[in-house]
Amino acid sequence: MEPLGVHVRVDAAGNLRGLYSAAQPHAPRLLIGSHLDTVPNAGAYDGILGVVLAVALLEELQGRRLPFSIEVVGFSEEEGVRFGTAFIGSRALVGRLDQELLDAKDAQGISVRKALDNFGLNPEEIPQAELGSDTLGYLEFHIEQGPVLESVSQPLAVVEAIAGQSRLEFTFCGSANHAGTTPMHLRCDAIAGAAEWIGIVERVAQEVPGLVATVGKIEAKPGAANVIAGEARLTLDVRHSSDEIRTLAVEDLTRQAQGIATRRGLTVRENTLLSQRAVAMDPFFIGEIEQAILKTGCKLHRMVSGAGHDAMILAEKVPAAMIFLRTPGGISHDPAESVAGADVEKAIECGLHLLDQLASSPEFHKRINRA
């Protein structure tokens, strides 16, 4: 970014940030970006495509300055893989990277605080990463990570809302014992209880329109082929565009886990890792994005994002919006994840139209003057 006249830095939360200044000094800024981290066995486009597209838009400006600055942001941690808590990078920008989160540890016992320190950053300076009053909003390009746009043969969509999500950890505890000498009716098998509950998770989600629920990880102890498991630890991910429906589903699944444990002579405990409300995107930005999409020759398509994104965190503090790109085959979080070059071209074209629209928009100039 530096050859484009961008001032680049890494903030105390590890976010990569590049400021492309406006025509006038000290003008407020529009953030454009996404996340740099990924998941195990990942594809190449989830998150990083949005960062590259932000840089591509700066390249396409060819030195032209706008009435507002543009800050490219590559968030350091969105997926929540290492520490079990998502959106660490973007939480820093809204002032929610608190001491409890900094003390969270990974599987090796390394805390977020220590990881930042090992990377050469100073966790005490995290408050300096927080957005100021000069921030006009946040725009994020992202692959859809699903099959909807491909099913309607459209390259782009505007996101009108991001579904709320709950992430929990359930631990079923029983009694470890010999697999060959313990009769079936005398067992307290943690895995068997967990397995029964997993089936219920799937059935509940299938019965509620729009609800998705996933047990994505299970760990058993002691983890030997000839030992009845004394402990089974599972993750639960529940999402819906209605916070009420999502909350009721989590409460139902928690009750059912407790019922299974009681009937089987087990105990179960749950720990909430994330409870993120559904977030509506900014109506003004949605309208401007739709105009920009039409100017590319594409048809309009609105959708709710079932996946969480940094935009849902930034929306707590500033107007936020998202543009989805078609995901061939609907495949994401897998090496087969892909994107069509022609769709990327449409996204860049849309982004340039959007920047020009904002530069000439009376409403956006009011926001600029208020910042």
Cβ distance 45 to 339 under 8 Å?
yes
Is the pLDDT at 371 greater than 90? The verdict is no
Measure Cα distances from 171 to 82, 179, 218, 233, 289 in Å. 19, 21, 9, 4, 44
Q: Which residues pair with 322 in a beta bridge?
A: 140, 159
274 pLDDT tier (thresholds 50, 70, 90): confident
Tell me: the pLDDT tens digits for 164-213?
989 999 999 999 999 999 999 999 999 999 999 999 999 999 999 989 99
Rg of the chain over Cα atoms, rounded to whole angstroms, equals: 23
Cβ distance 184 to 265 under 8 Å?
no
Structure tokens at 89: 């990078």
Residue 111 carries which DSSP code?
A: B
Residue 25 is predicted with a pLDDT of 86
Is the pLDDT at 329 greater than 90? The verdict is yes
Is the pLDDT at 241 greater than 90? The verdict is no
Q: Domain spanning 164-276 has what CATH number?
A: 3.30.70.360
Structure tokens at 275: 């409870």
Residue 158: what residue type?
V
Residue 86 is predicted with a pLDDT of 87
The domain segmentation of the chain, as residue ranges, is 2-162+278-370, 164-276
Backbone angles phi, psi at 284, to 5 degrees: -65, -50
CATH class of 2-162+278-370: alpha beta
Structure tokens at 101: 């989160």
Residue with tokens 């309607």: 152
Q: Is 164 left (phi over 0), alpha (psi -120 to 50) or beta?
A: beta
DSSP 112-152: HHHHHHHTT--GGGGGGGS--TTEEEEEEEEE--SSHHHHT
Query: What is the rounded CA–CA span in Å between residue 55 and residue 326?
Result: 20
**Neighbouring C-alpha atoms within 13 Å toward the C-beta of 92:** 28
Residue 369 is predicted with a pLDDT of 93
Residue 174 is predicted with a pLDDT of 98
Whole-number average pLDDT of the chain: 96
Backbone angles phi, psi at 309, to 5 degrees: -145, 160
Same fold, 2-162+278-370 and 164-276: no
276 pLDDT tier (thresholds 50, 70, 90): confident
End-to-end Cα separation, the chain, in angstroms:
26
CB within 8 Å of 217: residues ≥ 6 apart: 234, 235
Is the pLDDT at 109 greater than 90? The verdict is yes
Query: What is the rounded CA–CA span in Å between residue 125 and residue 127?
Result: 6
92 pLDDT tier (thresholds 50, 70, 90): very high
Q: Tell me the percentage of the chain whose pLDDT exceeds 90.
A: 95
